[in-house]
Structure 1
Amino acid sequence: MFQYEQEAAMEEDREDLIGLLKMRFGELEPQVIEAIYQMNDYETIERLILVGANAPDFKTFLEELEEGKGTFRIVGERFNPLESIAGNGDADGKQQQ
């Protein structure tokens, strides 16, 4: 892949990440958008797309954003997107007795 193609793919992934975050968590602060645009590591952007899709809340996403390059630990209940919906209920949101 040529460098300009890689740059275009990263730009597209940045836009996808920002769109995903807005869809899940609402408007973003300018410094979050700026931090995403400053990223030039394709794997980190890809990881953050997974985090954005699976993090139960924006605070968890921000913690991962601050981790930077080279970390990949999207495991455990911390990344269960249904946890925030279901609360103490099951995956359908029904309260457990």
Structure 2
Amino acid sequence: MKIWTADEVNSRLNDSPQMIDVRESEETAQGMIPGAKHIPLGEIPQRLGEIDKNKEVIMICRSGARSERAGEFLEKHGYNVVNMDGGMISWNGKTAAP
């Protein structure tokens, strides 16, 4: 699994990357990276069909730990995964309402 810093993810937003935010709803209510899709960690297995296997997927959470676990799961299912190191704690870019 590749690991990118929050700044690296921010620098790629113009490319409209596939991003999955695995935080809980009460966490995402505080703001998400624009363009990210919210799929809570516990729902990832049931919602695999919503994640494009042909595109790299950037995983996001609060600190980077849950997104790493989700990324490991996705990799086992054939996805090309990037984990955002430091999660939203390290995010200095724009946020939007979910």
TM-score bracket, shorter-length normalisation: under 0.3
After TM superposition, the score normalised by the length of structure 2 is: 0.24
Between structure 1 and structure 2, the one with the greater Rg is 1
Higher RCO (C-alpha 8 Å, min separation 6)? 2
In terms of fraction of residues, the more helix-rich structure is 1
TM-score normalized by the length of structure 1:
0.24
